[in-house]
């Protein structure tokens, strides 16, 4: 019998990832691992953002395969279509429609101040408008589902702040419509690439795929930068500044982490041995992912069904939002004619 109270609604969260093929170590540590853990606590929407990918000049012949490979990665790590909505951005046209409408309330100056825009604009002679408007589409991605929060890394905090500003400006102009989504900042910190410098990136080649076998994991990890002051094996190391040691904290048990640190400081174990332990532990941790990925690769129709069903669920939410937005912006001219 009901006690007359309103059932507690889970907070809705949205996040997306660009399709560049199989997910890599940085994607997993920086986002996917956390997304998996969030699926019971939140109402989750996970998106493969292919409309964003085209702003980077992605080869159209490669894009469909990249989308499929990322979808397989999503499912392999444990994103669950029974507990979350998983879909491809371009299958829900409301994202791009809302992005266009948000142009009406977003000052160009706000876009030009974006750090990522300034960085990308400095590297090309002619800047595509999509690079400037990228954060508007991000805002639409989030707000079309009226998401309460977004799991992001520090590098995306500025874009989320712009999404909050867009929601605020739209509400002021057209009436209360969108929540101002909160940032859910993870505790993984900045995941440095195996080069010890830049953020992990497949294009830079300073990471390893999450579906890689041990041989490939080792081939990548063996190149990883360690403590620059430890030139010889007999030199004592400083685990607190060693990038390889920082990765051990994610993939090795507490006893191994402590042992690696102790022997590093005492120079009783070399960096190569330390890397071999890390490579073996990474490969072991990813073994279940490889097994699940093999299943989905052998059954592509199952992946397609999951993405289609996810898009249908996403579209139902997004279309209701857009009906409200069109009405408030005066884009329902038929209604005016009676």
Please tell me the predicted confidence (pLDDT) of residue 1.
39
Q: Residue 253: its pLDDT value, please?
A: 93
Does residue 118 have an active-site annotation? no
Determine the pLDDT at residue 231. Answer: 82
304 is catalytic: no
- Helix 271-285 and helix 214-221, axial crossing angle in degrees, nearest 10: 140
What percent of the chain is predicted at pLDDT more than 90? 72
Instruction: Report residue 204's pLDDT band, with 50, 70 and 90 as the boundaries.
Output: confident
Which part of the chain has CATH 3.40.50.620?
12-192+300-337
Report the DSSP beta bridge partners of residue 152.
185
Long-range contacts of the stretch 105-111 (C-beta < 8 A, 24+)? 105/166, 105/169, 105/170, 105/173, 106/136, 106/139, 106/162, 106/165, 106/166, 106/169, 108/132, 110/162, 110/165, 111/135, 111/136, 111/162
* Range among 67-71, 242-246, 255-259, 267-271 rated most confident: 67-71
pLDDT at 6 over 70: no
**At 194, phi and psi to the nearest 5?**
-65, -15
Checking if the pLDDT of 5 tops 50, the result is: no
- pLDDT, residue 7, reads 56
What residue spans in the chain does CATH classification 1.10.240.10 cover? 214-285
- Convert the pLDDT of each residue in 256-279 to its tens digit: 999 989 988 888 898 999 999 999
Q: Is the pLDDT of residue 2 over 50?
A: no
Which phi and psi (to 5°) does residue 152 adopt? -135, 160
Name the CA dihedral angle for 237, 238, 243, 249, rounded to a multiple of 10 degrees.
110
In this prediction, residue 122 carries a pLDDT of 84
Per-residue burial over 238-267, b if 16 or more Cβ lie within 10 Å, else e, is: bbeebbbbebbebbbeeeebeebbebbeee
Q: Is the pLDDT of residue 55 over 50?
A: yes
Nearest to 98 by CA among 333, 320, 322: 322
Render pLDDT for 77-89 as a digit per residue (tens, 0 to 9): 999 999 999 999 9
Catalytic residue from among 11, 33, 169, 199: 199
Average model confidence (pLDDT) across the chain = 92
Task: Please state, in angstroms and rounded to a whole number, the distance separating the CA atoms of residues 277 and 82.
Answer: 36
The residue from 11, 33, 202, 313 that is catalytic is 202
CATH of domain 214-285: 1.10.240.10
Q: Indicate if 202 belongs to the active site.
A: yes
pLDDT reported for residue 185: 86
pTM for this predicted structure: 0.92
* pLDDT classification of 62: cutoffs 50, 70, 90: very high
12-45 pLDDT per residue, tens: 999 999 999 999 999 999 999 999 999 999 999 9
Instruction: Specify whether domain 12-192+300-337 bears CATH 3.40.50.1220.
Output: no
Catalytic residue among 120, 169, 276, 313: 120
Confidence of residue 99 (pLDDT cuts 50, 70, 90): very high
Q: What was the pLDDT predicted at 189?
A: 63
- Residue 8 pLDDT level (bands cut at 50, 70, 90): low
């Amino acid at each position: 019998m009901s006690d007359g109270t309103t059932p507690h609604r889970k907070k809705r969260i949205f996040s997306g990832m660009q399709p560049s093929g199989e997910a890599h170590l940085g994607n997993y540590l920086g986002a996917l691992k956390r997304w998996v853990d969030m699926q019971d606590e939140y109402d989750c929407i996970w998106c493969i953002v292919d409309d964003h990918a085209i702003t980077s000049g992605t080869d159209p012949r490669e894009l469909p395969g990249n989308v499929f490979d990322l979808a397989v990665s999503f499912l392999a790590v444990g994103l669950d279509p029974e507990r979350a909505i998983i879909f491809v951005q371009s299958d829900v046209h409301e994202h791009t429609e809302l992005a266009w409408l948000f142009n009406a309330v977003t000052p160009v100056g706000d876009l030009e101040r974006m750090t990522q825009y300034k960085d990308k604009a400095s590297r090309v002679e002619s800047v595509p408008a999509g690079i400037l408007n990228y954060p508007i589409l991000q805002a639409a991605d989030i707000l079309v589902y009226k998401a309460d929060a977004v799991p992001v890394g520090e590098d995306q905090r500025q874009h989320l702040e712009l999404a909050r500003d867009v929601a605020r400006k739209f509400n002021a102009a057209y009436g209360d419509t969108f929540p101002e989504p909160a940032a859910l900042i993870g505790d993984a910190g900045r995941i440095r690439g195996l080069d010890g410098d830049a953020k992990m990136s497949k294009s830079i080649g300073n990471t390893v795929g999450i579906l890689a076998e041990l041989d490939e994991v080792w081939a990548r990890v063996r190149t990883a930068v360690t403590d620059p002051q430890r030139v010889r094996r007999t030199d004592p190391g400083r685990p607190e500044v060693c990038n390889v040691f920082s990765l051990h904290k994610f993939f090795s048990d507490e006893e191994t982490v402590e042992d690696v640190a102790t022997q590093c400081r005492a120079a009783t174990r070399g960096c190569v041995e330390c890397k071999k332990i890390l490579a073996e532990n990474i490969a072991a941790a990813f073994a279940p992912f490889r097994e699940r990925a093999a299943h989905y690769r052998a059954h592509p129709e199952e992946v397609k069904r999951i993405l289609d069903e996810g898009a249908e669920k996403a579209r139902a939410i997004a279309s209701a939002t857009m009906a409200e937005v069109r009405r408030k912006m005066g884009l329902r001219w038929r209604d005016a004619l009676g």
